[in-house]
Amino acid sequence: MNTLNKEIAGWGRYPVQRCELVRPERHADLLSDAPSLLARGQGRSYGDAALNEGRRVVLTERVNRFLAFDCDQGIVRAEAGATLAELLTLTVPRGWFPLVTPGTKHVSLGGCVAADVHGKNHHHDGAFSRSVRELELITADGRRLCCSAQENGEAFRATVGGMGLTGIIGEVELQLQPIESVYIRARHQGAANLEQVFALLQDTDNDARYSVAWLDLMSRGAGLGRGVVMNGDHAARDELSGGRRLTPLRLAPAKVRNIPFDMPGWLLNSLSIRAFNAQYFRREGGRSGSFLVDYDSFFYPLDTLDNWNRLYGKRGFVQYQCVVPTATALEAMQQLLRRLADSGHPAFLGVLKRMGAAGEGYLSFPMEGYTLAMDLPMKGVATLALLDAFDAIVLQHGGRVYLAKDARLAMDSFRAMYPQLDAWRRVRRELDPQGVFGSSLSRRLGMEGEA
């Protein structure tokens, strides 16, 4: 198979590393003979989770065939390189929607499994792995293990959230949820500060299937952590009117614009972000009552802007996402926001959401509590030092950092954040005794442990 030596990066475009790329066209060629291997789907993890510096990276984008779709039961099976976007095109017109979807549809199913991604409904429906009926794991010795919560359960629990380090995920079979329309009945509520945001997210009367809060990370003082809580539920057919009611499952493709090249690094600075946030807060927080939006606008607002990561310029950005248990979540988030404010570091796109109980994956990120994500333009040492300070706060409150977003966590912090690491290591060693599967992330965090 031809190889291509190329510098690649994750979605945050930091770090950039040279890897040896192969791109199999067929499922049978996913596994190749190399001392170190890592599968990479759409490269939508932010840091170095899908990098394998100086070693082989297997691009799975061409191994994306749908193998079965039962439209009575809502069960779909596909090669793991297929994306959620492709899945939606297929299943939505037949009235089926993924049970769990992250904030972009341009992710591979294999990537969703490997990072055990979550969505706005985590507090009701759990993480992606909850919707996985079965997956095929191709191990280093070429075996094809059929894994589910019941069959090869240990391999399953090590693979969901296992960051691609147990083998190559060849196929994924998903349980979908029925929908009556492509629309979401959404509701926005402005909240003047973080306490109010928390109060709205906690309020069970106010709850919806999907809920998330956008935070204005540049707001200070009494308005610290102000934001807009966004709730939504799938709209039933009889909630629609006119043409929408006649073809409730049809959606015209969204217009996609492109950021054609790197924006200058100064574009997203404290001033421009503050101005944008103030306007966004007024507009979105001021919407009253409920309104209908299509699922693309509700779940994937950034997908209409191709290559939006170029907005951050050549140096890229880091996304910091942590979760903290409910008991002290508000306090922890306030400390994080205050620390951010004190640093004067610009930060764009803050997202806060409630999470339900942890799932089964040994290294899965979600746990009962609150998760905060923020995008920070990469400014070198200043950024890295700030994030180390964040880690200390998160650790102090018994929380953890999301590996799919990470580019810089320290080994010790990682170990303290993931208490099931030893169980994961034991299963991984059984599945891959030679340690063939590895990534820049796994080496940076010492995930394999001492052999």
Q: Which residues bind other proteins (CB under 8 A)?
A: 1-4, 21, 23-28, 62, 65-69, 79, 89-90
346: its two tokens: 């610009």
Closest distance to other proteins from the beta carbon of 307 (Å): 17
Query: Smallest distance from the beta carbon of 411 to other proteins, in angstroms?
Result: 34
40/345 with CB nearer other proteins: 40
Phi, psi at 346, each rounded to 5°: -70, 145
User: How far is C-alpha 180 from the geometric centre of its chain's CA atoms?
Assistant: 26
d(CA 371, CA 358): 12
Task: Provide the minimum distance between the beta carbon of 40 and other proteins in the complex, in angstroms, as a whole number.
Answer: 15
Q: How far is the CB of 176 from other proteins (least distance, A)?
A: 14
Nearer CB in complex with other proteins: 65/415: 65
In one letter, which amino acid is 349?
L
> Least Å distance between CB 69 and other proteins?
5
Give the pairing of strands 257-258 and 305-306.
parallel
- Report the nearest approach of other proteins to the CB of residue 79 (Å): 7
CA 168 – CA 152 distance, rounded (Å): 15
Q: What is the DSSP letter of 35?
A: S
Question: What is the 3-state secondary structure of 87-131?
Answer: HHHHHHHHCEEECCCCCCCCCEHHHHHHCCCCCCCHHHHCCHHHH
Minimum distance of other proteins from residue 363's CB (angstroms): 30
CB of 133 to other proteins, least distance (A): 17
Q: How far apart are CA 168 and CA 37, in angstroms?
A: 9
Closest CA to 101 of 292, 295, 348, 308: 295
Closer to other proteins by Cβ: residue 24 or 119 = 24
C-beta of 4 vs 254, nearer to other proteins: 4
Q: Are 41 and 107 in contact (CB under 8 A)?
A: yes
Largest CA distance in the chain: 64
Q: Where are the beta strands (DSSP E) in 282-362?
A: 290-294, 305-306, 317-325, 348-355
Between 170 and 316, whose beta carbon lies closer to other proteins?
170
- Closest to other proteins by CB, 75 vs 416, is 75
Place of tokens 């060849």: 170
For other proteins, give the closer residue by CB, 23 or 354: 23
- Three-class SS state of 270: helix
Nearest to 311 by CA among 353, 346, 352: 346
Q: CB 61 → other proteins: shortest distance, Å? A: 11
CB atoms within 10 A of CB 293: 17
Q: Which is nearer to other proteins, 172 or 292 (CB)?
A: 172
Question: Where do we find the tokens 């709730």?
Answer: 231
Nearer of residues 24 and 162 to other proteins, judged by Cβ: 24
Sign, CA dihedral 84-254-402-334, equals negative
In the complex with other proteins, the residue whose CB is nearer, 66 or 276, is 66
How many whole angstroms separate alpha carbon 57 and alpha carbon 386?
31
What whole-number distance in Å separates Cα of residue 277 and Cα of residue 448?
A: 41
Smallest distance from the beta carbon of 19 to other proteins, in angstroms? Answer: 13
